[in-house]
Each structure stands twice: as structure tokens, then as C-alpha cells.
């Protein structure tokens, strides 16, 4: 690979395609979030109307309290389900974006390596030390980037496990409190 005008133009086209692909994935994620919020709002409005009708039909304070107690478990479960759906959308969109960035990064690293190899073949005698330093620097930067990617992946996996555990705990707590009440 060399830095010809055609190579630069092709790289620019590739970068634009990647940018538009990332933008499309981001919009897809936003669209899913909007759909989730509209569905959750509709369900909440419908549930609130139904519950209000039940409350208005209560004959005494004890029946009113019983209706209120019955309302909390499904509400907590729906809230937990909404949170899981929200997390799944965010996590899925983030994973798609990360996958694209990782693939593009690997391609760019390969192209940079090819460029350095072709450039160093034509390097004047006596520049071997400078070429070795350049190659070592690029290798160190690539290793650092891979380490960061691994750390981010581990943190994401840990966050996902914590969210799932917290969701289960909330659901179990609500079930046990409504069973005791």
C-alpha cells in the first residue's frame, strides 16, 4: 500500500461508509428506545385507567388498601421488565457499534502495517534503527488498545451481571412483600 491519490480517496470513501453505518446503527437504537417508551407509556396509561376504575368501585377502606397492594407487584415487575428492555437495547446497540469500530480498527492497523512495510523497504540505508523504533511504537500502541478493549468488555460483562442480579432481587423482594401483605 502506498499513499497515492487513489488510495487516499478509497480510504476516505471507506471512512464515510463506516461513519454512515455507525450513524444508522445509532438511529436504529434510538428507534428501538422510542418504540419501547411509546409501548410502556401506552401500557402505563391503560393500567392507570383500569386501576382508577377499580379504586372508584371500592366499597370501603379495606378494599381500597387491598387494591393498592395488588397494584404494586405488577407495577414493580413491569418496571423491572422495562429496565431490562432498556438495558438490552443499549447493550445491543453498543455491541453493534463496538463490533464495527473493532473491525475498522483492525483494518486500519493492517493498512498502517502495510504502509510502514512498503515505506521501510524503500528507506535509505542506516535508518534501520528508526524503523525498528517506529514498528515497536506501533506494536505497543496496538497492544495498549487491545488491553483497553478487553477491560471495557470485562466491565460491560460485570455491569450486565450486576443489573440482572439487581433485577432478580427487586422482583423477589416485591413478590415476598406482596405475599406477606
**Looking at the 3D structure of the chain, how many domains does it have?**
1
Q: Does the structure show a pLDDT above 60 at 1?
A: no
Q: Considering the chain, what percentage of its residues have pLDDT values greater than 90?
A: 17
**pLDDT number for residue 103:** 85
Query: Could you report the per-residue pLDDT of 116-133, keeping only the tens digit for each?
Result: 777 777 777 887 787 788
Query: How many residues does the structure list for the chain?
Result: 181
- Structure letter (DSSP) for residue 123: P
- Contact between 163 and 61 under an 8 Å Cβ cutoff? The reply is no
Q: Does the structure show a pLDDT above 60 at 91?
A: yes
Taking all residues of the chain, what is their mean pLDDT, rounded to a whole number?
83
Q: Does the structure show a pLDDT above 80 at 175?
A: no
User: How far apart are the C-alpha atoms of 11 and 126, rounded to whole Å?
Assistant: 31
Task: Evaluate if pTM is beyond 0.85.
Answer: no
List the domain range (segments joined by +) for residue 145. Answer: 5-180
Amino acid at each position: 500500500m502506498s499513499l497515492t491519490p487513489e488510495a487516499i480517496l478509497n480510504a476516505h470513501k471507506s471512512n464515510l461508509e463506516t461513519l454512515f453505518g455507525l450513524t444508522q446503527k445509532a438511529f436504529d437504537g434510538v428507534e428501538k428506545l422510542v418504540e419501547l417508551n411509546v409501548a410502556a407509556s401506552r401500557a402505563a396509561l391503560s393500567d392507570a385507567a383500569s386501576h382508577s376504575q377499580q379504586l372508584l368501585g371500592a366499597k370501603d377502606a379495606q378494599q381500597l388498601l387491598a387494591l393498592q397492594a395488588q397494584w404494586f407487584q405488577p407495577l414493580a415487575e413491569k418496571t423491572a421488565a422495562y429496565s431490562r428492555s432498556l438495558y438490552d437495547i443499549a447493550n445491543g446497540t453498543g455491541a453493534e457499534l463496538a463490533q464495527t469500530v473493532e473491525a475498522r480498527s483492525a483494518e486500519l492497523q493492517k493498512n498502517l502495517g502495510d504502509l510502514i512495510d512498503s515505506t521501510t523497504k524503500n528507506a535509505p540505508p542506516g535508518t534501520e534503527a528508526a524503523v525498528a523504533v517506529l514498528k515497536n511504537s506501533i506494536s505497543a500502541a496496538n497492544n495498549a488498545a487491545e488491553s483497553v478493549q478487553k477491560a471495557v468488555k470485562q466491565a460491560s460483562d460485570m455491569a450486565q451481571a450486576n443489573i440482572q442480579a439487581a433485577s432478580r432481587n427487586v422482583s423477589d423482594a416485591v413478590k415476598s412483600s406482596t405475599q406477606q401483605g
